[in-house]
Structure 1
């Protein structure tokens, strides 16, 4: 099934092919809204000691790698 979104709404919300949308059901019907993008601080706030992986040794540097 597909939903056609009018061009003026697409432009207003800065949507494009592949934009992620959230679909919710309310008492009034269906609500479709763009998925909110997270900024770096919000993503970093989600790191906990439980989900932080240990450092990985990738071996000696090759070519012009800075590390």
Structure 2
């Protein structure tokens, strides 16, 4: 994607090993950090760490947030 990255300055509920409150987490080049939509119950990158882009199967078909960037991909 050509869009600039989105950085969130929020605190999320976390019991996982990665991204603890007050502890920075660096996502290496070529990897992704996934977060579920329910931070209190999601088992996401806060539990299993970042994921190599090579292991991601699928494609983006819709960006819904932020609303200024909403768009559909064909």
* Shared fold per TM-score greater than 0.5: no
Which of 1 and 2 has higher RCO (CA within 8 Å, sep 6+)? 2
**TM-score normalised by L of structure 1:** 0.24
Point out the structure with max Rg over C-alpha: 1
**TM-score normalised by L of structure 2:** 0.23
Judging by fraction of residues, say which structure has more strand.
1
